Homo-oligomer: A and B are copies of this chain.
Amino acid sequence: MANITKKVSWSSRADESGATGEGTPLLNGSEQPRYSRQDSLRGRPKEIPHNEKLLSLKYESLDYDNSENQLFLEEERRMSYIGFRCLEISRWVVCGLIGFLTGLIACFIDIVVETLAGVKYLVVKENIEKFTEVGGLSISLILWAVLNSAFVMVGAVIVAFFEPIAAGSGIPQIKCYLNGVKIPRVVRLKTLVVKVGGVICSVVGGLAVGKEGPMIHSGAVVAAGVSQGRSTSLKKDFKIFEYFRRDTEKRDFVSAGAAAGVSAAFGAPVGGVLFSLEEGASFWNQMLTWRIFFASMISTFTLNFFLSIYHNNTGDLSNPGLINFGRFESDSVAYNLYEIPLFIAMGAIGGLLGALFNVLNYWLTIFRIRYVHRPCLQVMEAMLVAAVTATVSFAMIYFSNDCQPLGPEHAEEYPLQVHTHTHTQTSASPCMVLTSSLTTSSCLLCFFFFLFCADGEYNSMATAFFNTPERSVRSLFHNQPGTYNPLTLGMFTLTYFFLACWTYGLTVSAGVFIPSLLIGAAWGRLFGILLASITSSGSIWADPGKYALIGAAAQLGGIVRMTLSLTVIMVEATGNVTYGLPIMLVLMTAKIVGDYFVEGLYDIHIKLQSVPFLHWEAPATSHWLTAREVMSSPVTCFNRIEKVGTIVDVLSNTSTNHNGFPVVVHVAPGDEPAKLCGLILRSQLIVLLKHKVFVELARSRLTQRKLQLKDFRDAYPRFPPIQSIHVSQDERECMMDLTEFMNPTPYTVPQETSLPRVFKLFRALGLRHLVVVDDQNRVVGLVTRKDLARYHLGKHGLEELHLAQT
């Protein structure tokens, strides 16, 4: 039944000292070593690194389980009830701050994008006015492409050269962080700055991207920063929130930040909460969820409030979120029972198209890993994409001859007014809609709209291409039937599909949510139009906007495969609960169909990074396995009173890089294995070594200050590497008493425990190390995240991934 592939083992040992795998067993010579090793550093690898078949050991896990050592318990016991109340209040304050700052950032991005885009249009407009007799349009169009490429270049340069982790939407990274994997540098201030700058550049540069995905990452960084009350990058410590300087608290705040990001991006506070929970939470805690919700609410509110001021409409709080789908009025019959099969069919199409998107992007990513890994090449690729996007758009507009008459509804709103965007404005002229988003630019774009068309007509392809994607989505949802010609929509879907697919994975900060929605809305509307032309019955089929909405949901679901939170986000963004059921059915179908072919886009990228990601449950057919098979064994243990030299040697051993060490007591000398009495972490040992907490020194220097929890917090989160700590030869002979610092009550399981049971314990408690003991409480093994993440359900039953040091 369960067909476990044999472990493939190389006997090499990694020699890079940078890698810090966690809790891997000390390998004695005879034991099977489980490391494969890529020698990509010595030149091009012979074979493509099948990253998705490997699990990297370079990622550490978060210590979500508190180390309840004596210091911790003493501190907790010293604290009064009032103290706990104050802590609780400061948690709320931090969440409020997170929401506020995240909202501000969203607001900042929105305003800067509008302003820069306005400047860009202005420049092109002047150019057109100047060269309109000399070189014709072509010069202006080249200028346009060059400007776009320039913006994208700036965005790509800061990402590629300063902070590569800021590339993409950041959602895979945040998913990993919430799952419990520490992705290096993902929540640093520098990342935030690059991310914000990058996303502005790529959106202004006209790429097929959205600014919504990066908001989630930005919110998470804000949360990680604010909750610590200091910035390591800026070397500034505000001496507040010191209690929160540990992984447990920090991860909780990061959940709140991610939720606030979603909330600001889509105006969906509940969706944000559910996103955080869907991706991150293991143990659902009521107060935590409530705080996350608070952060989300504040974030939406802040964004809304400041944007309303910016649009001179202070106090209009009805437009939450960077994107707003406009209100689907439910006064009329929204949909009929017999339409549900159609929606499900659209879900299946979305699943198929999504799978195609993901497969293409997967190949592209493999190609990029192989050939486009130098920053210069990455920047050049980004510029190329920007130029191609501009060119293709123009070509499409030129060759399409979809000229729609300017109806009376356009005429009456002529001459162009600069509107602030309210969702009532859904049937306005495309030109006006566009210019309304560019408050500083004037009528240039109308020029494009009327390009190649007779008087009194406008080019609907141009509408689809030159609007901001957010506005295009809304036009597709709400414009009158007949606004778009089926051929235009078909062509647009096709082009935009490939452009978006090419764009995702570029070394720029950008999200895939909006492009997905746009592709889906385009083919969904096409579907609706075709349906209306096939069936002769008019009224109910007449609204292609409904199908655009369903198509958008299907396409997005097919690509990212989120389910619960996405339904709620869509429902909140449409502001209409009536479409809840169809959207849910569509997302479910898209997920089922898509999963048959390939995983979701984010999961693909997580796998390509070889991140040890833990899913919700152990693979269904893994009841065969027990802790005995899963655990790493033998384990490096320390004695309760251990020689400093031994500790330093173990920590310095780069081939093992353990992060957690069981502390044992030998009842009789030499009996192996020994009885478990605690668990100590690498980070704790490092701090102990740094402060030279040696038994001998404590005796000689009685006045020496006792080590406190504060010392551990001060070193958090960037514990120095063992190499930076100098231990003299004399000191190596000293002893360290670990009793006070180890966690005396680590969770344990017997060897016979089944994998699903181990998995559940691990996931529910957010563990990092789980000690496996025999029936006499003696340490026989250690289970870590990688040991569990190794097993996954493949085509041929249960499969095992290999572990790699890189």
* Interface check A48, CB cutoff 8 A: no
> A318 and B578: CB pair below 8 A?
yes
* Interface check A336, CB cutoff 8 A: yes
Known A-B contacts A577-B575, A750-B745; the reply to A567 vs B293 at CB < 8 A is yes
* Interface check A284, CB cutoff 8 A: yes
Interface residues in A649-684 (C-beta closer than 8 Å to B): 665, 675-677
Which of B289, B301, B330, B757 lies in contact with A68, CB distance below 8 A?
Answer: B757
> B286 and A284: CB pair below 8 A?
no
> A298 and B336: CB pair below 8 A?
no
Flag A258-298 by CB within 8 Å of B: 1 or 0 each: 00000000011110011001100111111101100110011
> B281 and A284: CB pair below 8 A?
yes
* Min CB–CB distance A609 → chain B (angstroms): 21
> A315 and B333: CB pair below 8 A?
yes
Q: What B residues does A301 contact at CB under 8 A? A: 581
> A1 and B77: CB pair below 8 A?
yes
Q: What B residues does A118 contact at CB under 8 A? A: none
> B564 and A289: CB pair below 8 A?
yes
Q: What B residues does A440 contact at CB under 8 A? A: none
Q: What B residues does A284 contact at CB under 8 A? A: 277, 281-284
Q: What B residues does A485 contact at CB under 8 A? A: none
* Interface check A80, CB cutoff 8 A: yes
Q: What B residues does A81 contact at CB under 8 A? A: 1, 620-621, 793, 797
Q: What B residues does A282 contact at CB under 8 A? A: 283-284, 764
Interface residues in A757-785 (C-beta closer than 8 Å to B): 757, 760-761, 763-765, 773, 775-777
Q: What B residues does A335 contact at CB under 8 A? A: 317
Cα–Cα, bound, A283→B759 (Å): 12
* Min CB–CB distance A564 → chain B (angstroms): 5
Cα–Cα, bound, A524→B298 (Å): 24
* Interface check A76, CB cutoff 8 A: yes
> B577 and A68: CB pair below 8 A?
no
* Min CB–CB distance A272 → chain B (angstroms): 11
Interface residues in A322-352 (C-beta closer than 8 Å to B): 330-331, 333-337
* Interface check A320, CB cutoff 8 A: yes
Q: What B residues does A754 contact at CB under 8 A? A: 68, 73, 745
> A568 and B765: CB pair below 8 A?
no
Q: What B residues does A317 contact at CB under 8 A? A: 333-335, 578
Cα–Cα, bound, A269→B748 (Å): 40
Known A-B contacts A305-B337, A765-B761; the reply to A80 vs B621 at CB < 8 A is yes
Interface residues in A53-85 (C-beta closer than 8 Å to B): 66, 68, 73, 76-81, 84
Known A-B contacts A776-B675, A777-B777; the reply to A318 vs B290 at CB < 8 A is no
* Interface check A749, CB cutoff 8 A: yes
* Min CB–CB distance A627 → chain B (angstroms): 8
* Interface check A424, CB cutoff 8 A: yes
Q: What B residues does A620 contact at CB under 8 A? A: 81, 84
Cα–Cα, bound, A270→B278 (Å): 14
* Interface check A563, CB cutoff 8 A: yes
Q: What B residues does A750 contact at CB under 8 A? A: 744-745
* Min CB–CB distance A583 → chain B (angstroms): 9
> A80 and B1: CB pair below 8 A?
yes
Q: What B residues does A290 contact at CB under 8 A? A: 563-564
Which of B564, B576, B617, B776 lies in contact with A777, CB distance below 8 A?
Answer: B776
Which residue on chain B has the smallest CB distance to residue A763?
Answer: B283
> A333 and B316: CB pair below 8 A?
yes
Chain A contact residues, CB within 8 Å of chain B: 1, 66, 68, 73, 76-81, 84, 267-270, 273-274, 277-278, 281-287, 289-290, 293-294, 297-298, 300-301, 305, 315-318, 320, 330-331, 333-337, 422, 424, 563-564, 567-568, 571-572, 575-578, 580-581, 584, 588, 616-617, 620-621, 623-624, 665, 675-677, 744-745, 747-750, 752-754, 757, 760-761, 763-765, 773, 775-777, 793, 797
23 pairs of residues in contact across A and B, judged by CB atoms under 8 Å: A1-B78, A68-B754, A68-B757, A81-B793, A84-B620, A273-B564, A281-B284, A283-B763, A285-B617, A293-B567, A294-B584, A300-B581, A305-B337, A315-B337, A316-B334, A318-B334, A575-B576, A675-B775, A677-B775, A745-B752, A747-B749, A747-B761, A748-B748
4 more A-B residue pairs beyond the given contacts A283-B760, A287-B617, A745-B757, with a C-beta to C-beta distance below 8 A: A68-B753, A68-B754, A289-B564, A676-B775
